[in-house]
Amino acid sequence: MLGKTAGGLYWMFRSLERAENTARLIEAGFRIALTRSTEAEGEWKSVIVTSAAQAAYEAKHDGYNSAQVTNFLLRDPDNPGSVLSSVKIARDNARLVRTALTTEVWSAVNETWMLLVDLLAKPVKETELPEVLAAIRHQCALVRGALTGTMLRKDSYHFCQLGIHIERTDSTARIIDVKYHALLPASSLVGGRLDNVQWETLLRSVSAHRAFRWAVEGDYTAPAIAEFLILDRRMPRSLSFCVAQIVASLGYLADDYGERVRTHELADALNARLEKRDIAAIFDEGLHEFLGSVIRDVAALGQQLEQDYRFNR
């Protein structure tokens, strides 16, 4: 397949995943704003920081409030990571690689774009926010469903999967990093007892609050939650799960093309850092340092992927 096509598929699904993650973040922020009005400003700020948009946001706005933040994250064209911008990028890439998509995947992403242009034509009222956020999640799931349900399992499919899981790794790492520290009164208290509601937001940001209860027998302790989000391979948004998926997709490409490239080495190295790890050891290393290095490694992996498979000129 064309390098450009591989790149288009990859960015299409990365952008969709970003749109969905942003919607989940807003949901978590909104939840806090509703239940804890005094902490809302800090929570909204951490949402902006997590989505790596602090500079762009502060260039336009003073202070953090629900209406401004949600508007910036949902529909601001100046924010390249806003849901609307991300879905536009996804749809433009889909048009670019239309020949590599099934009709169902194309229709799903085109419909998603049409629907969101409509839903986000004006600032979303607080009363409509839950519905709009649900629609975003629903639409992204629809496109992913069409992907897994209709696309041939060949290289094109795996470039889509790589887009999903590279973006998701980055997003989950950022959420844990920012929220974990934002939630703690002081870093010396890592491992201490935190308020249940705060922990719940962290889990809620990745839609894992109920999964956690089912999967983990025990309390909402910092190590238990960190372990769940970093190391639990059953959890589809954990770092460990996402990296394993990246390794699997790359493994397919190596078999199909009969060639291993540098991307494989980077992925294996990252995977090794998450395999058979003990959460206590990660805390010893320093959680923030650990997550920072994962974010950097994943970015390097993405760049290597583009180079090895000739996405660009």
Partner 1 sequence: MSSDETHFSEMQTSEGVRPPYASYAAWFSEQDAARLEKKAAQSEAFFRRSGITFNVYGDSDAEERLIPFDLVPRILSSQEWTRLSRGIEQRVQGINAFLHDIYNRQEILRAGVVPTELIAQNDAFLPEMMDFTPPGGVYTHIVGTDIVRTGEDEFYVLEDNARTPSGVSYMLENRETMLQMFPELFSKIKVQPVSDYPKNLRRSLGACAPESCTGRPCVAVLTPGMYNSAYYEHSFLADQMGVELVEGHDLRVVDGYIAMRTTRGYRRIDVLYRRVDDEFLDPLTFNPSSMLGVPGIMDVYRAGNITIANAPGTGVADDKAIYSYMPDIVEFYTGEKAILKNVETHRCSDPEALNYVLDNLAELVVKEVHGSGGYGMLVGPAASKRELSEFAAKLKARPANYIAQPTLSLSTVPIFKKKGLAPRHVDLRPFVQVSPKGINITPGGLTRVALKAGSLVVNSSQGGGTKDTWVLED
Residues that bind partner 1 (CB under 8 A): 1-6, 92, 95-96, 98-99, 103, 106-107, 110-111, 114, 155, 257, 259, 309-310, 313
Nearer to partner 1, 49 or 96 (CB): 96
Contact 12, 157 (CB under 8 A): no
Please state, in angstroms and rounded to a whole number, the distance separating the CA atoms of residues 199 and 192.
12
CB neighbour list of residue 63: distance below 8 Å, 6 or more residues apart: 41
Q: Report yes or no: 293 and 169 within 8 Å, Cβ to Cβ.
A: no
Closer CB to partner 1, residue 115 or residue 216? 115
Provide the 3-class DSSP secondary structure of residue 53: coil
Q: Smallest distance from the beta carbon of 312 to partner 1, in angstroms?
A: 9
C-beta of residue 1 within 8 angstroms of C-beta of residue 156: yes
Of the pair 1, 216, the CB lying nearest partner 1 is at 1
Tell me how far CA of residue 190 lies from CA of 109, 183, 210, 283, 310, in angstroms: 42, 10, 23, 9, 43
User: Between 96 and 190, whose beta carbon lies closer to partner 1?
Assistant: 96
The least distance separating partner 1 from the CB of residue 110, rounded to whole angstroms, comes to 5
The least CB distance from residue 76 to partner 1, in Å, is 20
Q: Give Cα 287 distance to the centre of its chain.
A: 19
Nearest distance, CB of residue 313 and partner 1, angstroms: 6
Query: At closest approach, how far in Å is the CB of 100 from partner 1?
Result: 9
CB nearer partner 1, residue 158 or residue 204: 158
